[in-house]
């Protein structure tokens, strides 16, 4: 099968190992509440164990544990998991925080549902998808979540981001589900766009939240981090704003993971 696109190389995913990135992640938008209703519908009456792949600071795992018996939350970054533990709900005994790569982690299972929030693209799909397929209970789905945060100054922000990004070959048209289906690693069952929710944030916090993106961490930007912040502040100043009204849009795609083999006729 063809190589993974270079903008998904491991060096970009490793940006999350940085404790400063994990701290700044607090300022990224949480998932809209309806996301959790939809995930629980996908779990249905199957066993209430959930696997969260690339769990980060637990934006999915921590709300989910209020409704199920156990969440196994796996992330390659010790810094992200350390941050997850100190956030509200992070000490819930039903969450097993596991610092490991999804490619190597020992999966307990069977899981009634597996989730991956803005994370699967970083993983080695040929290894991870077949592993998830084996760990799911019969009829269990893998749900992939995407979050899109839109500001009223989107075009200007995009220009600044493109100018400073340390991952300039990133392709915004890349669709993970299409790529996985092409590789016979994914059979999609459904997709839902959750109606956008509003989020108001101080401009300084909004700017800081960009440093929790792999392509714009302060460590990777080096001295340019100050210039990035200045350019972003200039955008807000042009609009006379000290706060920004954001629109948070989530999409859930669910399906069954495959093993890359051509189905038998």
Ligand X SMILES: C[S@@+](CC[C@H](N)C(=O)[O-])C[C@H]1O[C@@H](n2cnc3c(N)ncnc32)[C@H](O)[C@@H]1O
Positions in the binding site for ligand X (CB under 6 A):
13, 16, 54-56, 59-60, 74-77, 80, 101-103, 117-119, 122-123
Output the smallest distance, CB 212 to ligand X, in A.
8
Q: Give the neighbor-by-neighbor strand order of the sheet with 243-257.
A: 95-99, 70-75, 49-53, 111-117, 136-150, 243-257, 186-202
Q: What is the DSSP letter of 110?
A: -
* Residue 175 DSSP symbol: -
Please give the residue whose beta carbon sits closest to ligand X in the complex. Answer: 56
> Residue 240 Cβ, how far from ligand X at the closest point, in Å?
31
Which CB atom, from 161 or from 241, has the smaller least distance to ligand X?
161
CB of residue 164 to ligand X, shortest distance in Å = 18
Report the nearest approach of ligand X to the CB of residue 118 (Å).
4
Question: Which CB, 35 or 203, lies closer to ligand X?
Answer: 35
* Three-state DSSP class for residue 35: helix
Q: Between residues 113 and 123, which has the closer beta carbon with respect to ligand X? A: 123
Question: Between 29 and 235, whose beta carbon lies closer to ligand X?
Answer: 29
Q: At 254, give phi and psi (nearest 5°).
A: -130, 155
Is the dihedral angle over the CA atoms 74, 72, 117, 177 positive or is it negative? Answer: positive
């Amino acid at each position: 099968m063809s190589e993974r696109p270079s903008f998904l190389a491991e060096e970009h995913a490793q940006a999350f190992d940085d404790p400063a990135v994990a701290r700044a992640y607090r300022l990224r938008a949480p998932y809209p509440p309806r996301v959790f209703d939809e995930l629980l519908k996908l779990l249905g009456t199957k066993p209430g164990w959930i696997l969260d792949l690339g769990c980060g600071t637990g934006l999915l795992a921590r709300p989910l544990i209020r409704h199920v018996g156990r969440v196994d939350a796996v992330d390659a970054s010790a810094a992200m998991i350390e941050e997850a533990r100190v956030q509200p709900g992070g000490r819930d005994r039903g969450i097993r925080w596991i610092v490991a790569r999804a490619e190597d982690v020992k999966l307990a299972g069977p899981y009634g549902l597996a989730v991956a929030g803005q994370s699967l693209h970083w993983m080695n799909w040929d290894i991870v998808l077949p592993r998830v397929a084996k760990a799911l209970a019969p009829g269990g789905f893998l749900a992939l979540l995407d979050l899109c945060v839109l500001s009223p100054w989107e075009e200007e922000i995009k220009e600044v981001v493109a100018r400073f990004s340390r991952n300039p070959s990133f392709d915004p048209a890349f669709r993970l589900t299409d790529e996985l289906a092409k590789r016979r690693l994914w059979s999609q069952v459904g997709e839902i766009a959750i109606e956008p929710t509003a989020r108001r944030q101080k401009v300084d916090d909004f700017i800081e939240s960009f440093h929790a993106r792999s392509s714009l961490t302060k460590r990777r930007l080096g001295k340019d981090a100050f210039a990035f912040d200045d350019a972003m502040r200039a955008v807000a100043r042009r609009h006379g704003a000290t706060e920004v009204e954001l629109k948070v849009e989530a999409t859930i795609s669910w399906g069954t993971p495959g093993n890359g083999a051509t189905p038998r006729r």
